[in-house]
Structure 1
Amino acid sequence: MGAAVNEALKELLDLLDLEQIELDIFRGRSPEERIQRVFGGQVAAQALVAAGRTVPKDRNVHSLHAYFIRPGDPSIPIVYNVERVRDGRSFTTRRVVAIQHGKAIFTMSASFHIPEEGIEHQATEMPEVPRPELLPHFQERMRAVVGDDPEWTAWLERPRPIDARYISPLTWEAHKDPSLRSAETNVWIRADAELPDDPLLHVVLAAYASDFTLVDTVLLAHGLAWGASNVMGASLDHAMWFHRPFRADEWLLYAQESPWSGGARGLARGQMFTESGDLVVSVVQEAMIRVTKSQNPR
């Protein structure tokens, strides 16, 4: 299974290697899959790559703020236009607009900072959770829930670039057992192969992975699950802060919570910790969540 997953990671890295078509203009593509829209984490990751390609190597991204405006069409390329908003002595700011069919589908502002010495503290502590090696793969957990359902078999056997080990209940498990409902989710994540020593790449992969489970934390509180409930959802905005250097090919605990939902929207917050307990990333996302009257098949 490992070799197949490594191939999936190689494909993801290829998707992140954008084609430069003009000064500050880049083109990205999507996986060749029959899906309705482009995965939001992919667009955010590609936009961050585009921004990073226009910034001096001595500056590291420390934050991004993004809005998902329209669904992305996976059948055509995405064009990323980068605006050089500011080049200061310590900070660099970039704005990226992702375009398809002549319209903006996504915007992002990203800020980069030279390494500096300063005051330090970490008030939050990593939750006490089992080690990732003691936990089953996500596919194993899901297979125990859906059994031999042929509609799920191909999806579960598909290789994945990110290894995810859930400590908390899956949304499907909570959908079947109301006692498992919770507004908190803890999951270990890491890229499923060793990566080059490129700081931007590790940040980009964290941005990609950060969009997988945040909305699920909102659904988990209500016993809803994609494909099992009459629920429709889409990311609205996404913000991240990168506090310390880290490696995406080493285990990160993604601790998430949903403090609120209402008005067809849900808010989720997340923190990524290294195995040693260092807080390296903070994430906030709001999503549209609508419960429809009829069942929404997967």
Structure 2
Amino acid sequence: MTEAARAAAADPAGTDSSAPVDEHGVPHGQPVLDRLVALLDLEPIEENIFRGVSPAESPVRVFGGQVAGQALVAAGRTVPTDRRVHSLHAYFLRPGDPSVPIVYEVDRTRDGRSFTTRRVVAVQHGKTIFTLSASFQIDEGGMDHAEAMPEVAAPESLPTYNERLGELREQFGSVVSVSQPIDIRYVTEPPWVRRYSGPQDAHNQVWMRADGTLPDDDLLHVCLLAYASDLTLLDAVLARHGLYWGLDNVNGASLDHAMWFHRPFRADDWFLYDCSSPSASGARGLATGRFFSRDGSLVATVVQEGLLRVLD
């Protein structure tokens, strides 16, 4: 995700004087998270058609995690509550315009005995900007195994995202702390620190959680995870080349995004996001991510290809 997109994700619906502030005067906590939840609560305007908005203060493009989360909400609103989403596949086709609403059109592709499939098209200015296919399944038993979670430091022992931004502020002076609905704690050194050592392993690890308490709504927790999955994923590609958004002359955008949800989880509990990049070529970088719950359960897997252009 680009630094501009990260800024959009940071304050989903403008400032809120009721939110507590940290030592830098940055709002955080439940009021900030509540604004993100409100952003994901789409307006039904016709059968199978929904409308979503962007934050009041946004950069020139809509944050990709927002579009993915809203599209998944639209799909889930047409599916029986006894079926959980187990996979999604999405393509980012055009930049989203944050100044106008996004219309989400849902195609009820299939309703089977065990599986339900939905396709969602996001439209702005009469053109498709994003497509998503999602599959839902009833709860079933069967084989069960998973990779083990890496051994990492506990999230409580790690500095917050804005505390780590202080390192940038000391060097560049113009870095602005931002409010985050997602609490992010870097396990590996942040990419803006690692870039001074040159190319690194194509690996990035962070602890994340929704910064507050969420209602008991399975679909909402999945949509929050889809939103969070776009925050740090492409950083693994940049780390391999010693680059970072805003500090180097690199432009980027998400091209496609796929997720598989393996086990139930709560997005307001800590989860480890373990990301790596197996390849980059042709101005594109591939990144993979694994979400582990605090108890070590593998709850989701992510794959994304991003457009990454290093300019002269």
What TM-score, normalized by structure 1, do the two folds share? 0.94
Contact 2:83–2:138 under 8 Å retained in 1: yes
**Which stretch shows the higher mean deviation, 168-177 or 182-191?**
168-177
Percent identity over the alignment? 60
1:91 aligns with 2:115: yes
1:126 aligned residue: 149
2:278 to 252, 259, 279: 259
Instruction: Look up the SS of the partner of 1:159 in the other structure.
Output: coil
1:287 aligns with 2:306: yes
Deviation of residue 148 (structure 1)? 7.2
1:229 to 223, 248, 256: 248
Distance 1:197 1:42 in 2: 21
> Structure 2: which amino acid aligns with 1:177?
S
The CA deviation string for residues 57-115 of structure 1, in whole angstroms up to 9 with x for no partner, is: 10000000000000000000000000000000000000000000100000000000000
Instruction: Look up the SS of the partner of 1:152 in the other structure.
Output: coil
Distance 2:205 2:253 in 1: 21
The CA deviation string for residues 175-203 of structure 1, in whole angstroms up to 9 with x for no partner, is: 22227x22011100000011111111110
Deviation of residue 120 (structure 1)? 1.1
Give the unaligned 5+ runs of structure 2: 1-20
1:166 aligned residue: 186
Q: 1:48 to 1:234 in 2, by over 3 A?
A: same
Distance 1:71 1:115 in 2: 36
For residues 80-229 of structure 1, the aligned pairs below 5 Å read 80-122=104-146, 124-147=147-170, 149-153=172-176, 156=177, 158-178=178-198, 181-229=200-248
1:69 aligned residue: 93
> Structure 2: which amino acid aligns with 1:249?
D
Deviation of residue 149 (structure 1)? 4.5
Instruction: Look up the SS of the partner of 1:10 in the other structure.
Output: helix
Distance 2:250 2:30 in 1: 32
Contact 1:170–1:220 under 8 Å retained in 2: no
Instruction: Look up the SS of the partner of 2:269 in the other structure.
Output: coil
Distance 2:201 2:190 in 1: 10
Distance 1:34 1:103 in 2: 21
Contact 1:91–1:113 under 8 Å retained in 2: yes
1:274 to 282, 287, 293: 293
Q: 1:209 to 1:250 in 2, by over 3 A?
A: same
2:49 to 25, 35, 46: 25
> Structure 2: which amino acid aligns with 1:105?
I
Contact 2:165–2:175 under 8 Å retained in 1: no
Contact 2:28–2:181 under 8 Å retained in 1: no
Distance 1:214 1:160 in 2: 17
Distance 1:150 1:121 in 2: 48
Instruction: Look up the SS of the partner of 2:204 in the other structure.
Output: strand
Deviation of residue 161 (structure 1)? 0.3
Distance 1:82 1:266 in 2: 30
2:16 aligned residue: none
Distance 1:174 1:237 in 2: 26
Deviation of residue 150 (structure 1)? 4.9
> Structure 1: which amino acid aligns with 2:36?
L
Deviation of residue 275 (structure 1)? 1.1
Q: 1:119 to 1:233 in 2, by over 3 A?
A: same
Deviation of residue 142 (structure 1)? 1.6
- The total of aligned residue pairs comes to 288
Contact 2:237–2:287 under 8 Å retained in 1: yes
The CA RMSD over aligned residues, in Å, is 1.2
Give the unaligned 5+ runs of structure 1: 294-298
